[in-house]
Amino acid sequence: MRAAVLGVSGYGGMGLMRLLLRHPSITTVIPVSSSQAGEPVRTIDPGLDESGAARLQATDGRAVDAEAAAKHKPDVVFSSLPHLASARALEPFYEGSVVIDLSADFRLDDAATFEQVYGEAPARPDLLTEAVYGLSEWNAAAIAEADLIANPGCYPTCTLLPLLPLLSEELIRGPLIVNALSGISGAGRAAKRNMLFCERSENMQAYSPGMTHRHVAEIVRGMELFSSRQEIFFTPHLVPIKQGMFVTTVVEPASGVDGEAVRRSLERAYSDKPCVRFPGPRIPETRHVRNSNVCALGYHIEDGRLALFSVLDNLYKGAAGQAVQNMNLRFGLGESTGLPLDGEF
Amino acid sequence: MRAAVLGVSGYGGMGLMRLLLRHPSITTVIPVSSSQAGEPVRTIDPGLDESGAARLQATDGRAVDAEAAAKHKPDVVFSSLPHLASARALEPFYEGSVVIDLSADFRLDDAATFEQVYGEAPARPDLLTEAVYGLSEWNAAAIAEADLIANPGCYPTCTLLPLLPLLSEELIRGPLIVNALSGISGAGRAAKRNMLFCERSENMQAYSPGMTHRHVAEIVRGMELFSSRQEIFFTPHLVPIKQGMFVTTVVEPASGVDGEAVRRSLERAYSDKPCVRFPGPRIPETRHVRNSNVCALGYHIEDGRLALFSVLDNLYKGAAGQAVQNMNLRFGLGESTGLPLDGEF
Amino acid sequence: MRAAVLGVSGYGGMGLMRLLLRHPSITTVIPVSSSQAGEPVRTIDPGLDESGAARLQATDGRAVDAEAAAKHKPDVVFSSLPHLASARALEPFYEGSVVIDLSADFRLDDAATFEQVYGEAPARPDLLTEAVYGLSEWNAAAIAEADLIANPGCYPTCTLLPLLPLLSEELIRGPLIVNALSGISGAGRAAKRNMLFCERSENMQAYSPGMTHRHVAEIVRGMELFSSRQEIFFTPHLVPIKQGMFVTTVVEPASGVDGEAVRRSLERAYSDKPCVRFPGPRIPETRHVRNSNVCALGYHIEDGRLALFSVLDNLYKGAAGQAVQNMNLRFGLGESTGLPLDGEF
Amino acid sequence: MRAAVLGVSGYGGMGLMRLLLRHPSITTVIPVSSSQAGEPVRTIDPGLDESGAARLQATDGRAVDAEAAAKHKPDVVFSSLPHLASARALEPFYEGSVVIDLSADFRLDDAATFEQVYGEAPARPDLLTEAVYGLSEWNAAAIAEADLIANPGCYPTCTLLPLLPLLSEELIRGPLIVNALSGISGAGRAAKRNMLFCERSENMQAYSPGMTHRHVAEIVRGMELFSSRQEIFFTPHLVPIKQGMFVTTVVEPASGVDGEAVRRSLERAYSDKPCVRFPGPRIPETRHVRNSNVCALGYHIEDGRLALFSVLDNLYKGAAGQAVQNMNLRFGLGESTGLPLDGEF
């Protein structure tokens, strides 16, 4: 299988390269970069070992532009470009390749909502309803038939996974008070002053609280798609780690719902899912899923309040990892094929 | 004025030494350590400069035990020992010195609650009601007359300061959903495996959620003392920074309360308070109060939800700094005398 | 192949578990811990995914003590216990298993030197000369026949790899001025105050300079084994990262030796070695080998001085990874089988 | 005394603001920024407390451009702009104010060397020989009479302070093998991709080794000015801390020189210097001087090699702090007036 990756000089693209160069079903990887076309991909990302070089022979180990990439007729194309730029750069691939887009361009199915959230009209409004929302554990059947997959954002993935089973079974009700902590890599690799090491180390802060963060509309859509819409108040925070996300969601359990009911619901939903780990009412740590495609869950219930905890690596299960998981689902491979499942220690 | 510090080998004691060795009203500092009696204080804490040595002459620059310290008849005694150990080590000083205790030993005024929270009976139940709760901005009159001051915990200080004005004016109502992020120094300096650099860096997690954290009872007492008790759900998290605390509290505003009402309330409460900074509806960052005795506040209001943000340095306004602020209030000095107010950049 | 790991609750043991549970030639892993026998290994290390559980069936997923482990007759036994404890805990395995010891117990072949360096006599002096020094790239033939392999330390591996080719070809001469920077995990997982997060973050320092660090004797032995002994001055430093080592060695090139000669020598030595990366006169970064079994090299030459740069992940190529590499060599597998070669980005 | 600061939105300028707003001899501070003129200085740096506002009244608390600043006729002007930009922006102040320049514009006294090192001709070659090199402990007499002071770089300050006494007394000889570790703030506050949090955390690397780093020429000049030129090989490294510098210099002691001789020499040089701390043959840690204007020294001697250790905070003794120290010397104030001397713990 031939795979192309748009945006290999960003963190998402680097994560995709790592996974695809080791994936057992991939024979050829075509690295795409408009700004660094011609550069050897191992110069762009010196952490890639030369042992993956065989799969890069099609482009002589170098990044190419999108047009050149299209000539290789990739079976699957990943884009981790910024929104709007992504939908445009994917033009040569909508026909003929399965497209997995990691940007926000196809996550919302309504052009008006997109424009409201992102301040500009979507680049390809005609494709919004065609795109399949790629929350792997909840949309596998649709993903398996999709030619355009909108890979979810890190915050929505981490927030929705513990909520959806409980919402679907009406074990909880809103409002959902969501506090999310994100590692800095979620902000991407663009050179911004407020993402410098010296601005982030020994520092933490909330940002874009309430409905102001762009991911809220996506979380709402995820609830609507797979369950029911609830009132939500979402506060993301930046903390000085590179890769990791910790979401704490406080909700009210429905009348008569106890910890055991919560446990059973989460187990039912995920006991056969290789990329969701739920060891019971414990609190997960982000290091235990770092560099893995696993979302780990936990909970605490007390006096009419339920706290749900969920962690993932924003670059793996929150981006590149789930994208490969969706490729696996689309091409009939085992869901976790080629994906790391052990975290750090 | 002569000051003694119990527990100079811990982070709280080190912070106290720094402040007292530069404070304009202190002439003598008596460093106390049971485990390191006899050691030069500058060996215990090599970050202390020798320029403060004149104030350490009484003990020849060395730590002494509590008994030896009592002979110096200090005007004020600070203890940053662990709870129970603290109340006991302070025995020689209850008579004759103003005592400012940074442990939890005198923060709750009820022995039964103390025992329930801490798993043991208080060491000096007879003093619980005599002790004055040292939340400087809210209890200045009582502090000014107190001989035993219970210095608040870092979580209660950071949580109560934005809440109390709004609760007092009935601008908000519970439940209060509190998410708190703490730097690692809050866990103290004892050698624990789970506080090793390698267990904390690139890692974050919640712990002791709901009513399980010991500081919740103290927050509840603070609400009762200065306003009214509300339902609260408190989730603390550990993030990999050394000094800093970020608290996000989501509440429901009372009917008709808008952002302007919130702003006016916080301004009324704190515009003349040197150690609380409220620049309006902005989101503070912990670095801006690091190494300072300032608690900075902000808020965001939207669609019937109010998020309150508060930050402080858990070792300064959350411990040693507020202790010195309380000493200032007790001895009729300017509230912020000798206290750093600039944060880092 | 059945493998046992002594010391699974330490960082080295955790690294070994990760590698062995995914290694294509291993069918059974026996986790050994004296202090946590009976505990599920996934409780000891929650970052291990359940997908590796099949290989842990022999002990029902639990750690066992060494005696119980011996009954499973492992083909290969790894120990990452502290020195002296390691040689003793390995007693049941010297007969019947290939032993790969990650401690210092068998790195020096001379009991007197061991005693001088470690302050105690070696536990098994009789085995010192039998043990084979496991610097994979330089001792492969001996390793392939060894039943007792002394896995090198992280400092010696990182220091020797760039030096040995140049020393062997007499392109450089001493004194070797070696400055090494180590991540904190090199200090192990024991609860020590000076390894707490708050003691290490925003801090750096040298320690044990000159001949005082224990690894110097091992570096000297490595030079003697594979080339010639040179005068060396070694200064290790602790810097606040979790995994990583950066060694800068400044030497004098022999008369007439230029950068091209250095380049050719390093290429000759390592161009066919999968676990050493030498892209030419560039300066490597530790992130590019983090979580991989790669040592990356670089150099800079100028005005009669040559600086050699080498980086590795102290837990992989500096410990668990090289141990598995040695297992591969011993059992005739491809040298890098089952070893990650991509670093982070 | 009125002081102006050029470049208040950079780390150096922020450090200067902090010190000058608390300095006992300063009544007025004029913040200067070409890019943010008109902005309140507390918006530019929210870590500055409002308690310093009185000194900012001249400009209504706002940054102004250089021309407007000149009208306030400051007694002393600091510039922490980049080189070339700095010398040009200082034009309105060379006549009439004492100028303390923190850039490299006046550190070298020779235009040809400047051009070779910086790739461009100096902006004011005519002033090069007039400028006084502001290494406070070694040039106090000249500084006291200077109207243009070239504030030293962080690497030269940290490297020269332990070397100069020993070189002057001919106790050591070259070559000097210098390994320096720097916190990231040394790279300034410009938005560069390779200074992002995610590029620096869990990462370390050398850069610009040998004679390629710009600070080497300045170190050489410092040796020539105050002692004698020696061969030097300098390798700086970037490590993930915000503020701090650790320099390890390995040299050969002159015949017959022992540790005692080294100790006496360093004590003679610095026992009466408030901003250099030398507690004997110990190894300092950077945290112990963080946020202070202290350079701490230590050493280790063994078998014909001497390792010198020196630490400072690159933003204080390595930049803004030493600049204020030079102002103190120039205006006849106590050398450490208004300067923090305690480090962190």
Mean pLDDT of D318-345: 97
Give the bridge partners for A180, in sequence order: A236, A247
Report, as residue numbers or ranges, the catalytic residues of C.
154
Q: Do D201 and A197 touch (CB under 8 A)?
A: yes
Give percent above pLDDT 70 in chain D: 100
- Between CA A330 and CA A340, with CA A336 as vertex, the angle to 5 degrees is 135
pLDDT score of C326 more than 80: yes
D184 vs A190, A198, A241: nearest CB = A198
A196 CB neighbours in chain B (<8 A) are none
Q: Do C233 and D250 touch (CB under 8 A)?
A: yes
CA distance A299 to A258: 11
Q: What is the reported pLDDT for B84?
A: 97
Q: Do D291 and B288 touch (CB under 8 A)?
A: no
Instruction: Find the helix packing angle between D215-226 and D154-168, rounded to 10°.
Output: 30
Q: What is the reported pLDDT for D303?
A: 85
CA dihedral sign of residues C5, C11, C15, C21: positive
pLDDT tens digits, one per residue of A155-194: 999 999 999 999 999 999 889 999 999 999 999 999 999 9
End-to-end CA distance of chain B: 34
Mean pLDDT of C165-185: 96
pLDDT score of B340 more than 90: yes
Q: What is the reported pLDDT for D78?
A: 98
Per-position DSSP letters for D104-142, written without gaps between them: STTT-S-HHHHHHHHSS--S-GGGTTTSEE--TTT-HHH
Phi, psi (5° rounding) for residue C16? -60, -45
CA dihedral sign of residues D205, D209, D214, D220: positive
A246 CB neighbours in chain B (<8 A) are 204-206, 237
- Comparing CA positions, the residue from D14, D21, A246, D55 lying closest to residue B288 is D14
pLDDT tens digits, one per residue of D7-25: 999 999 999 999 999 999 9
Let me know: does D338 contact D275? Beta carbons within 8 Å. no
Mean pLDDT of C305-329: 98
Mean pLDDT of D269-289: 96
Q: Do C242 and B11 touch (CB under 8 A)?
A: no
With a cut of 50, list the residues of chain A below it in pLDDT.
none
Q: Do C193 and B198 touch (CB under 8 A)?
A: no
pLDDT tens digits, one per residue of D37-51: 999 999 999 999 999
Q: What is the reported pLDDT for B341?
A: 98
Instruction: Find the helix packing angle between A154-168 and A215-226, rounded to 10°.
Output: 30
Nearest residue in chain A measured CA to CA from D187 = A198
Q: What is the reported pLDDT for C150?
A: 98
For residue C159, give Cα distances in angstroms to A270, C154, C297, D182: 47, 8, 10, 22
Categorize the per-residue pLDDT at B170 as very low, low, confident or very high, splitting at 50, 70 and 90.
very high
Let me know: does A128 contact A108? Beta carbons within 8 Å. yes
CA distance, residue D135 to nearest chain C CA (Å): 24
pLDDT tens digits, one per residue of A72-83: 999 999 999 999
Q: Do B192 and C190 touch (CB under 8 A)?
A: no
Q: What is the reported pLDDT for C214?
A: 86
Q: How many beta carbons lie within 10 A of that of residue B149, not counting itself?
A: 28
Which residues, other chains included, contact A54 with Cβ-Cβ below 8 Å and sequence gap of 6+?
A: none
Is pTM beyond 0.90? Reply is yes
Helix (H) or strand (E) run with residue A28 in it? strand A28-32
pLDDT tens digits, one per residue of A99-134: 999 999 999 999 999 999 999 999 999 999 999 999
C241 vs D212, D240, D284: nearest CB = D240
Per-position DSSP letters for D247-297, written without gaps between them: EEEEEEEPTT--HHHHHHHHHHHHTT-TTEE--SS----GGGGTTSS-EEE
Categorize the per-residue pLDDT at B220 as very low, low, confident or very high, splitting at 50, 70 and 90.
very high
Q: What is the reported pLDDT for B211?
A: 79
pLDDT score of C20 more than 80: yes
Q: What is the reported pLDDT for A151?
A: 98
- Comparing CA positions, the residue from B153, B155, B190, B191 lying closest to residue B10 is B190
pLDDT tens digits, one per residue of B222-277: 999 999 999 999 999 999 999 999 999 999 999 999 999 999 999 999 999 999 99
Lowest mean pLDDT among A325-329, C113-117, C127-131, D209-213: D209-213
Mean pLDDT of chain B: 97
CA distance A139 to A137: 6
Mean pLDDT of B22-40: 97
**Number of A–D residue contacts, CB under 8 Å:** 60
Categorize the per-residue pLDDT at C299 as very low, low, confident or very high, splitting at 50, 70 and 90.
very high
At C17, which amino acid appears?
M
Q: Do D193 and A190 touch (CB under 8 A)?
A: yes
Mean pLDDT of C251-264: 97
For residue B223, give Cα distances in angstroms to B176, B305, C272: 12, 20, 70
Instruction: Quote the ipTM score.
Output: 0.96
For residue A281, give both structure tokens: 């009412």
Let me know: does D39 contact D25? Beta carbons within 8 Å. no
For residue C189, give both structure tokens: 């997982």
CA distance, residue D190 to nearest chain A CA (Å): 6
pLDDT score of D212 more than 80: no
At D309, which amino acid appears?
F
C198 CB neighbours in chain B (<8 A) are 11, 184-185, 189, 195, 242
B287 vs D47, D51, D201: nearest CB = D47
Q: What is the reported pLDDT for A265?
A: 98
Give the bridge partners for B173, in sequence order: B252
CA distance B311 to A204: 9
Q: What is the reported pLDDT for B214?
A: 86
Distance of CA A313 to the CA centre of its chain: 9
CA distance B176 to B223: 12
Let me know: does B277 contact B333? Beta carbons within 8 Å. no
- Comparing CA positions, the residue from B102, D126, D194, A202 lying closest to residue C201 is A202
Nearest residue in chain D measured CA to CA from A9 = D193
Mean pLDDT of D254-275: 97
Neighbours of chain B (3+ CB pairs under 8 A): A, C, D
Categorize the per-residue pLDDT at B89 as very low, low, confident or very high, splitting at 50, 70 and 90.
very high
Classify burial at B174, counting beta carbons within 10 Å of its beta carbon; exposed 0-12, middle 13-18, buried 19 or more.
middle
- Comparing CA positions, the residue from A273, A259, A342 lying closest to residue A308 is A259
| Most A-contacting residue of C8, C342, C345 (CB-CB within 10 A), to test interface | C345
Nearest residue in chain B measured CA to CA from C239 = B197
pLDDT score of C319 more than 80: yes
Categorize the per-residue pLDDT at B321 as very low, low, confident or very high, splitting at 50, 70 and 90.
very high
Domains with residue ranges and CATH for chain D: 2-130 (3.40.50.720), 155-314 (3.30.360.10)
Helix (H) or strand (E) run with residue B44 in it? helix B41-44
Give the bridge partners for A100, in sequence order: A78, A149
B195 vs C190, C196, C242: nearest CB = C196
CA dihedral sign of residues A51, A57, A61, A67: negative
pLDDT score of D299 more than 80: yes
CA distance D167 to D149: 24
Q: What is the reported pLDDT for B174?
A: 87
For residue D89, give Cα distances in angstroms to B247, C162, D123, D143: 43, 47, 10, 22
- Comparing CA positions, the residue from C280, C299, C274 lying closest to residue C172 is C299
Categorise residue C191: left if φ over 0, alpha if ψ from -120 to 50, beta otherwise.
Answer: beta
Q: What is the reported pLDDT for D211?
A: 79
B46 vs D18, D47, D288: nearest CB = D288
Q: What is the reported pLDDT for B212?
A: 75
Q: What is the reported pLDDT for C342?
A: 97
Rounded to 10 degrees, the C-alpha dihedral C198/C201/C204/C210 comes to 70
CA distance A343 to C46: 8
- Between CA C313 and CA C318, with CA C314 as vertex, the angle to 5 degrees is 100
